[in-house]
Amino acid sequence: MKPDKEPTTKDNGAEEHSYYRPAVAVDVLIFTIINEKLRILLIKRGIEPFLGKWAIPGGFVRENESLEETAIRELAEETGVTDIYLEQLYTFGEPERDPRGRVISVAYYALVPSGKVGVLSAATDVTEAKWFPVNDLPELAFDHRQVIDYAIKRLRWKLEYTSVAYSLLEEEFTLTDLQRIYEIILNRPFDKRNFRKKILSLNLVEPTGKKVVRGVHRPAQTYRFKKRQLSLVEIT
């Protein structure tokens, strides 16, 4: 139970005694789209430091629990959802990030389908939690502003080069739904014809055969994502 030289063995036996052990937390950035805006789930701090400020939900790693398991647990505690897109983002370890002492925090980010969101926001009302549009954030605790900025950059990048976008949609969706995800997150318009051409040429999506009527206009074909597996470039 007392690691002495891991993971290396650079034999300068000077460090045989107990090592300095920082606290290790996992923070989970939970994104979704509500009302045409990319939003993140934040919780209001009830204690010092940063009392009253908003923060990314997170918690400490437990014994016998992997980092990913911690993230999944946190996610479930906050939102009740499981089985959604989750990816390690970055590990933040500046000594001064927490005024109370050293905390190394491994950040993950999760994408929740826009549809499950009603449920979520209800479930999270108990502990003071809210979905904030990412371009209208409140005052944040710790270095959480930078963490969020970094996550958004990564999300934008992933959206352009992989198929994460599907993680923000329900099983069945229209191509317009998909296009809207891209437009909202990347914050620029796409040409409808070119967009559809590109998506269909990627062959990641197939029509369900069903149509859905969503207003006083022509019904739309719905599609489903072929394999519920992500990305061509599965390197972060």
Partner DNA sequence: CCAAAAGTGTTTGCTCTACACCCATGG
Partner DNA sequence: CCATGGGTGTAGAGCAAACACTTTTGG
Q: Which residues are catalytic?
A: 128
Q: Which of a copy of itself, DNA, none does 217 bind, CB closer than 5 to 8 A by kind? A: DNA
65 binds, among a copy of itself, DNA, none (CB under 5 to 8 A by kind): a copy of itself
Near DNA by CB under 7 A: residue from 116, 196, 204, 224:
196
Task: Among 29, 75, 103, 110, indicate the residue that binds a copy of itself (CB under 8 A).
Answer: 103
CA–CA gap between residue 2 and residue 177 (Å, rounded): 52
40 touches 31 (CB < 8 A): yes
Contact between 175 and DNA by CB under 7 A: the answer reads yes
What is the DSSP annotation of 116-179? GHHHHHHHTTTTTEEEEETTS---BSTTHHHHHHHHHHHHHHHHHHSSGGGGGS-SEE-HHHHH
- Per DSSP, what are the bridge partners of residue 112? none
Please state the φ and ψ torsions of residue 92, each to the nearest 5 degrees: -105, 125
Closest CB 181 distance from a copy of itself, rounded Å: 19
Site for DNA, rule CB under 7 A: 174-176, 191-194, 196-198, 211, 213-221
Site for a copy of itself, rule CB under 8 A: 1-11, 15, 19-25, 27, 43-47, 55-68, 77-78, 88, 90-91, 93-95, 98, 100-106, 127, 141-142, 144, 150, 153-154, 157, 233, 235-236
